[in-house]
Amino acid sequence: MDNSVNVQITAYQPADLNQVIYVLERCGDDAKKELFIENHKRTFAWCARKKEQIIGVLVGWTNNFHPYANYISLHIHPKYRLEAVEDKLIKALQQVPSVYPFQMSSWKNQYPTSAFYTRNHFEKIRCTYTARLDLNKVINDSLTSHKAIISSKNYIMYDLEQWKNIDTYLYDLAIHIRDDYAQKHMVNPLGVYEIKKWQELLDAEDIIKQGSYIVYDYSSKQIVAYGLMHFVNNKVVELGWSNGKLNALKKWESILWKQFYLAWNQGYYSVEMEIDNTDQERLNLLDQYPFETISILNTYHLNT
């Protein structure tokens, strides 16, 4: 029996707000409420109704940072997670004019299942691992200090605060980070190239300046490696944007060990890192160090 026979798909209306928020809360997706409360952030929304009750929502929005995709998320009340209902909502995308692909993400082994994406002809474009490293598994006082040393006399390592004495407005660093980021996100291209925006991102409140490092080559007058560190909570720090290209790998590893040592020395228990499967050098860390994968986020594209 087709469970979707009595389900109707209709465009979202302001009068639906309370029912939609209830569905989002039941799905544990409170963050998406703002797409409906502040409707300028929403590009479209469709509701799945059984009789007069809304049991599912498909919502779309755009992202200025990555403007070459239409972002969507699907929310079905747990009681009504029937495959036919999900598929019926996705078919509503055929009524949404779009030059760019629709992009949707979900955690591995959670709703929606991989079978849903296969059935509806989505293409997986990226897999993002969140990995955590217990610092006690790698810290050895003398060994860690040694590995954090840059061996070449042409190179010197600065923390972010010290680097501002050389690159006052972080202009050179911002260019390196922007260009590296763009190179690693070719499937879903970058849309923000204005260097001022990237300089602002380097001034975020959660960046730990003492634990963010730049390796500078005085002979060529160039940045050869960098790695940022962010505060998560009193036990955990996150390793952010970094340069791990092969020609700078050894310098980057020196930064990693410096970060490990500083975090451990300041009382943090572990470091976390997001690693995309499009970043092979960073992905190799999962084999080189005893990182534990704590979550996997799969991202898909759909062309209609």
pLDDT at residue 119 is higher than 90:
yes
pTM: 0.89
Alpha-carbon distance of 253 to 258, in angstroms, equals 9
pLDDT at residue 193 is higher than 60:
yes
Least Cα distance to 49 among 2, 78, 14, 16 occurs for 16
The residue to which tokens 């591995």 are assigned = 108
**pLDDT bucket at 38, cuts 50 / 70 / 90:** confident
Mean pLDDT score of the chain: 90
**pLDDT bucket at 19, cuts 50 / 70 / 90:** very high
Could you read off the pLDDT of 205-224 as tens digits, one per residue?
999 999 999 999 888 888 98
Q: Which domains does the chain have, with CATH numbers?
A: 7-121 (3.40.630.30), 130-297 (3.40.630.30)
Q: How many CB atoms lie within 10 A of CB 2?
A: 10
Could you read off the pLDDT of 221-278 as tens digits, one per residue?
889 889 999 999 999 999 999 986 545 556 778 899 899 999 999 999 999 999 999 8
